[in-house]
Amino acid sequence: MNQIRREALADRLITLAQGQGRIIVAIAGAPGSGKSTLAEALAKAIGPDACVVPMDGFHLDNTVLKERGLFARKGAPETFDAEGFRHLITRLSAGGDVIYPTFDRELDLARAGAGVAPAQAKIVLCEGNYLLLDRPIWADLAQHWDATVFLDVPMEELERRLIQRWLDHGHSPEQAKARAMGNDIPNARQVVEHSRRADFVVT
């Protein structure tokens, strides 16, 4: 495990990809840790050889969550189609154009076929909370990762960011704190406490 600066990580991944076919990089971290921001910054730094594939397109639909009594836990590991995501990673590893679902935050639902990982993408940056989780199905993803990255953010900062996220959605301070502490923070603790060790850690 190596602590690394964001600025140096792109160069390390480019070096890792030299002489290989497609490599798959897992970028994991707690909710609010900055996974999407890091993945997009890496893709920009690497250039056209890279693309970003988020895990969020595998959110179960709200109707399914309500039927299963999981709506209040939306965002927890059991509220994703982990089997579907595992199948996607297998397809990405095989190369070629790969179509995948994305998540529309404004509509709060997944959009089928909205994302494309092009065949020319030699470095696929997968980002999501549970990519390194040491739990059934999620743990099976490890065989596909050519490199793993974990964002290490102090829990106090995660709490601040997650509360602010709900404030930005128009909730009162009391509601925002309740939403964050009731679901987001338990999910964050699960990520921090039960993720496998990563090749690279960004603080």
pLDDT digits (tens, 9 = 90+) for 53-96: 999 999 999 999 999 999 999 999 999 999 999 999 999 999 99
Residue 184 belongs to some domain of the structure: no
CA 134 to chain centre: 15
Q: What is the mean pLDDT of the chain?
A: 94
Show the domain range for 98.
Answer: 2-154+197-201
The CATH number assigned to the domain holding 134 equals: 3.40.50.300
- The secondary structure of 23-58 as a DSSP string is EEEEEEE-TTS-HHHHHHHHHHHH-TTEEEEESGGG
In a domain, 187, yes or no: no
- Residue 37 domain-assigned? yes
Tens digits of per-residue pLDDT, 135-159?
A: 999 999 999 999 999 999 999 999 9
- The string of pLDDT tens digits covering residues 162-179 is 999 889 888 898 888 988
The single-letter DSSP state of residue 136 is T
| In-domain check, residue 166 | no
For residue 171, with 0-12 CB atoms within 10 Å meaning exposed, 13-18 middle and 19 or more buried, which class applies?
Answer: middle
What is the domain count for the chain? 1
Angle at 54 between CA 50 and CA 57, to 5 degrees: 140
In a domain, 159, yes or no: no
* pLDDT over threshold 80, residue 1: no
